[in-house]
A and B are shown apart, each in its own frame.
Chain A
Amino acid sequence: MTTHSQQQRREAMPGSSLQDSLVALSGVTKTFGAVRALAGVDLSVGPGECIGLVGHNGAGKSTLMQILAGTLRPTDGRYDLGGETVALSDVSVSKAQGVGIRCVFQELSLCPNLTATENVRVRHAALSGFGWRKRAAKLLTEALDDIFPGHGISPGATVGDLSLGRRQMVEIAINFIATESSHPRLVILDEPTSSLDQSVASQLLAYARRFVEAGGSIILISHILGDIFSTAGRIVVMRDGAVVADRPASEFDRASLVAAMGHVAEDDEDEALAHAAKARIGEPVVIARPPKQANGAAVSLHRGEIVGLAGLAGHGQTALLRLVQHAAYHRSRLAEVRGRIAFVAGDRQSDGVFPLWSIGENVTIRSLPALSRLGFVSSAREAAMEAEWKDTLKIRTPDMDDNILTLSGGNQQKALFARALGSDAEIIAMDDPMRGVDVGTKREVYERIRKEAGEGRSFLWYTTEFDELLHCDHVYVFREGRIVAELDRGELTEEKVLQSSFDEAAA
């Protein structure tokens, strides 16, 4: 099976020697129809290694991880598990799990109608027989306590009732559980921190470091480069379905890493961000009061403003955005909205994507009235809009008529951005929309948001990343469903935001 050149390539691979590698891929390719997702990738993971995997949306990171975890079969190449070559047709999840490879996927894979404990049972078949519920709950609580001290999650809670962040915490904990028959030896974390707020994310990264010190292995995929630098010992950079760099983390710095990903580092970013706080004049286009707010405080948004909603994840920011969205179409006693609104979802699966439709149909749905005559959609005008936004946001697809689910997570997110930005809305509500979006795309979108705000569009932006608040003119910090602080651009510091987010907990 193995060709001569592959043999050579394997010998030249950096990192641990092949004999003691947990899993090793060489020359692996994967094609989906006409799309080549992986073009010959070599990667080996040894025990006690933490690998940071970075690259743009659609670079092939998730595909590579799915192959490692056995959920996808490579089209070609060589796949070694625990030093033994596995025939490509035999690659399977159970084989990978047999050697202790676990994977926390970007799209949450818990069953929402089951409790957290029952989800543990789904993942760990060994928990059978009398009293499994008790044992599963114990294992889960232990894992959660270990990774996220002070998590406050009850193992009997139905997953669907948990916030996105807590669901992610349960999913992560389940993958670190060791049972009699299966121990986690390599855990793949695909964008694990994107739906966690900062304090929880740092708990996870600290745990990952402890896990690696104890001899376990981690592959960490993240668009937050700080996470990569603080945690990974080795960094693998992917671009266009190939590994373009694979070196110890100490050999990279922020600029060289971004450059390796194929992006020129911009140093004028700070200058662009340093715009002075604008005076808030005139009638606001949105006034919204959180339902739990006891005092008279309310979020207000003026024309051409970017207003940020900050605080820990799940403290009422999304609820406020939904309230505003609802108030644009119905009467509401809590919110007043003057103008048309569009919504950019953060939780793609439940709030954004229409899974049976093409990318194009997903983009145009918000703009159909503008693309129609006498109630019927004009194909020509619809196609024109699709082509325009494919270019504008560089959606990576051969054809806008392909199903939306053929796109990687970040590119699906671009389609949702296109849906809102391409519409006639004067107000855009964004629900932490940059989850799983790569650095390059983020910059383009930030720039676009600033430009459109300059032209009079207004943005209401909930984000869990502090850096994104720097783009806002005005920031409201939320805690337990209430506005607890209001900061102008001039007085905005990370410390102030964190302080307000934690006030009571810290006291």
Chain B
Amino acid sequence: MTSRLAKFQSIWQSAPYAFAFIGAMVIFAITLIANQGSGAGQIVSAALAFGSFYALVGIGQMFVITSGPGNIDLSVPANIALSGAVAMSIMGGSDAMIPLGLLAALGCGAAIGCVNYALISVLRIPPIIATLSSSFVVQSLAIVYGRGLRITPPPFLAEIATGRVAGIPILSVLVIALAGVMALVLHRSIYGRFLKAIGQNMNAASLAGIRVGLVRFGTYVLCAIFAALCGVLLAAFSGGASLNMGEEYLLASIAVVVIGGTSVAGGFSNVSGIWGAALFLYLLVTMMNTLGVGTGLRQILTGLIIVAVITLAGSRRGVRE
């Protein structure tokens, strides 16, 4: 028993993302069996589309969590709501306004990131409280700004968000490409290295000449921009912005990071696991729907699975014999 656990943990150490993909495949198989093998293509296609949104917020959240224990961004849902509303109202349903609307939404996200980090750094509020309180302000702004707003997205943007080529969602291809770029940033760029150093030992990072404040600042802004992008695409996907469309992305953004094999203690993460976990999370819901599990039980199971993954990954730090 012990040796099996040790083996499990050694796989986790060398390929922490593997379990998310394996889990996704197992759940996919169960769903197919329950469905008597029909609808495989549809499920995959939907998983890729919905998984794209999970992956987008997850990548941003992963960078924040990598920057060390205690770092987290809880303003993601409010950010999604506000950015989606801003983008839709500026675009006004016109293709010509897409660049401007997108820029405004991303700028809005960047501003939220700046505020978040200002609260953390200048006022020395712990990230969990800082981002939660800023999210209340942002959500209120979204309510004021978006009241009665019912603008359909520009056709070209809607096509990107919902269109499929040979059954594969265009959106998912774009997000996979973006994930590739971010993996490169995380593992090969100076910024990524600095971020991981800060996540392991902030004190040592500062003494090694890393501008800790600057890197953390950039990371919170990056996360907020990813959430804003998710807001724009989500609004385009669902035919217009709504105030509560970001709700489920709070837990989802954290869940995909953890299930994807990123260390909650910071300093160790990977991007591919985010995609594995995003598919896993979507397929899990699909499976439970297929099996006729009610909403309440579904949420309990989702919570339990996240707890189980953190527990199994918990001993990952024991690198030394």
Residues of chain A touching chain B, judged by Cβ–Cβ distance below 8 Å, are 32, 322, 325, 329, 340-343, 345, 350-357, 361, 365-366, 368-369, 372, 375-377, 403, 405-406, 419, 423, 425
Query: Which partner residue on chain B sits nearest A405 by CB separation?
Result: B320
Please state if B190 and A405 are interface contacts (CB–CB under 8 Å).
no
What's the minimum C-beta distance from B158 to chain A, rounded to whole angstroms? 35
Q: Which of the segments B17-25, B132-140, B199-207, B293-301 contacts the partner chain?
A: B199-207
A375 lies within 8 A of B207 (CB):
no
Beyond the given pairs A351-B203, A357-B197, A366-B208, 14 more chain A to chain B contacts, judged by CB atoms under 8 angstroms and listed by A's residue number, are A32-B321, A329-B211, A345-B207, A350-B203, A354-B196, A354-B267, A355-B201, A356-B263, A365-B208, A365-B210, A372-B190, A376-B188, A376-B190, A406-B320
Q: Does B319 contact A (CB under 8 A)?
A: yes
Q: Which residues of B contact A354 (CB under 8 A)?
A: 196-197, 200-201, 204-205, 267
Q: For the complex, is B111 an interface residue (Cβ under 8 Å from A)?
A: no
Q: Which 9 A-B pairs have the closest CB atoms?
A: A343-B207, A354-B200, A405-B320, A368-B190, A366-B208, A376-B188, A365-B208, A356-B267, A376-B189
Residues of B within 8 A of A369 (CB): 190
Give the one of A329, A353, A366, A423 with max B CB within 10 A: A329
For residues 297 through 321 of chain B, which have their beta carbon under 8 Å from a beta carbon of chain A? 317, 319-321
Tell me if A325 and B207 are in contact (CB < 8 A).
Answer: yes
Q: Which residues of B contact A343 (CB under 8 A)?
A: 207-209
The A/B interface has a contact count, at CB < 8 Å, of 76
Partner of B190, one of A342, A361, A377, A423: A377
A223 vs chain B, min Cβ distance (A): 23
Instruction: List residues of chain B with CB within 8 A of the CB of A372.
Output: 189-190
9 contacts between A and B (CB under 8 A): A325-B207, A352-B207, A356-B268, A365-B208, A369-B190, A372-B189, A372-B190, A405-B320, A423-B209
Measured CB to CB, the nearest residue on chain A to B209 is: A366
Complex: A352 Cα to B206 Cα, angstroms = 10
Say which residue of A341, A353, A375 sits within 8 Å of B204 (CB atoms). A353
Q: What distance in Å separates the Cβ of A432 from its nearest Cβ neighbour in chain B?
A: 14
**Chain A residues within an 8 Å CB radius of B193:** 361, 365, 368, 377
> Across the interface, which residues of B come within 8 angstroms of A405, CB to CB?
319-320
**Residue of A345, A354, A403, A406 contacting most chain B CB atoms (<10 Å):** A354
Chain B residues lying within 8 Å of A368, measured Cβ to Cβ, are: 190, 193-194
A322 to B207, CA, bound (A): 8
The DSSP consensus for interface residues of chain A is mixed
What's the Cα separation between A280 and B189 when bound, in Å?
Answer: 42
Looking at the assembled complex, report how far the CB atom of A329 sits from the nearest CB atom of chain B, in whole angstroms: 7
Q: In the docked arrangement, what's the CA distance between A229 and B196, Å?
A: 45
Which residues of B (245-282) have their CB < 8 Å from a CB of A?
A: 263, 267-268
Q: Does B12 contact A (CB under 8 A)?
A: no
Report the nearest A residue to B193, measured CB to CB. A368
Q: Does B217 contact A (CB under 8 A)?
A: no
- CB neighbours (8 Å) of B263 from chain A are 356
Please give me the residue from chain B that is nearest to A403 by CB atom.
B319
**Contact residues in B for A377 (Cβ distance below 8 Å):** 188-190, 193
> Roughly how many angstroms separate A356 CA and B209 CA in the complex, as a whole number?
19
Q: Contacts A341-B209, A403-B320: A352 and B188 contacting too (C-beta < 8 A)?
A: no
Note all chain B residues with C-beta closer than 8 A to A322.
Answer: 207
Do the beta carbons of A342 and B209 come within 8 Å of each other?
Answer: yes
What residues of B have a CB within 8 angstroms of the CB of A351 in the complex?
Answer: 203-204, 207
Q: Which residue on chain B has the smallest CB distance to residue A345?
A: B207
- Alpha-carbon distance A376/B183, docked complex (angstroms): 12
- Bitwise interface map of B from 191 to 230 toward A, beta carbon under 8 Å scored 1, else 0: 1011011001101110111110000000000000000000
Cα distance A62–B204 when bound, in Å?
25
Bitwise, B39-57 to A at CB < 8 A (1) or not (0) is 0000000000000000000
In the complex, A356→B204 CA distance in Å?
A: 13
CA distance A369 to B209 in the complex (A): 11
Asked if B191 and A375 sit within 8 Å, CB to CB, the answer is yes
Is B184 an interface position by the 8 A CB rule?
Answer: yes
Which of A357, A366, A375 interacts with B189 by CB under 8 Å?
A: A375
